[in-house]
Structure 1
């Protein structure tokens, strides 16, 4: 849930705050598939469909789109629940982010087999 410090003077949440939360959600899924450390290497797409406001309850849904030799591309969709008494739910953001599996030296490494 975004706080007042995450918003501009008009009450709209900064896009950068949303991007960081999307990156965290995507990295969790990517790290599970990679069985370890991952690093963000590309933001392939990022669409802000509707504004996010202070007090919105956000839900992040991440799915693996593609798996390469060392990389995992994750799709993340964000929904906001507004006016919780009315339970209005709107899709606010869609993104595609690519992560690379890294070793202790922060060099890319192959993904383990499933």
Structure 2
């Protein structure tokens, strides 16, 4: 699957720490939301995060940066999907810069109504 834009968001002052940078936890939450888009689509139903395999902060994020989250499915198993998410910041409108600020690999599992793992084949059959 190709890389796909799944989320765009601009952090606000309430998302910043005492240094004026955006909290890493806020960025992690946004990455988790962005990462779940493709697995939800592929599974045609509920998914849950089961692992954050790797998370790398490359540069700080500032209030006013426009963040674009790109996701790509890297592996599909029987009940799980691994997704690579890259976060690109567009900053400083007076002198525009585009930089990769974060990237992560996350694994999601398709779940049924009771929260139990379910194979993707079931998702296809229910559609």
Report Cα offsets for 1:40-83 as digits up to 9, x if no partner. Answer: 00000000000000110000000001000000000000000111
Q: Distance in 1 between matches of 2:109 and 2:18?
A: 37
TM-score (norm 1): 0.96
Report Cα offsets for 1:2-43 as digits up to 9, x if no partner. Answer: 111111121100000000000000101110111110000000
> Aligned-residue CA RMSD in angstroms?
0.8
**In the alignment, is residue 62 of structure 1 matched against residue 47 of structure 2?**
no
Aligned length: 113
Give 2:113's aligned residue.
104
Report Cα offsets for 1:74-94 as digits up to 9, x if no partner. Answer: 000000011123220000001
Match of 1:53, SS state, is coil
TM-score (norm 2): 0.87
Match of 1:28, SS state, is helix
Structure 1: which 5+ runs fail to align?
A: none
| Superposed structure 1 runs of 4+ greater than 6 Å apart | none
Structure 2: which 5+ runs fail to align?
A: 1-9
Match of 1:8, SS state, is coil
Give 2:45's aligned residue.
36
**In the alignment, is residue 3 of structure 1 matched against residue 38 of structure 2?**
no
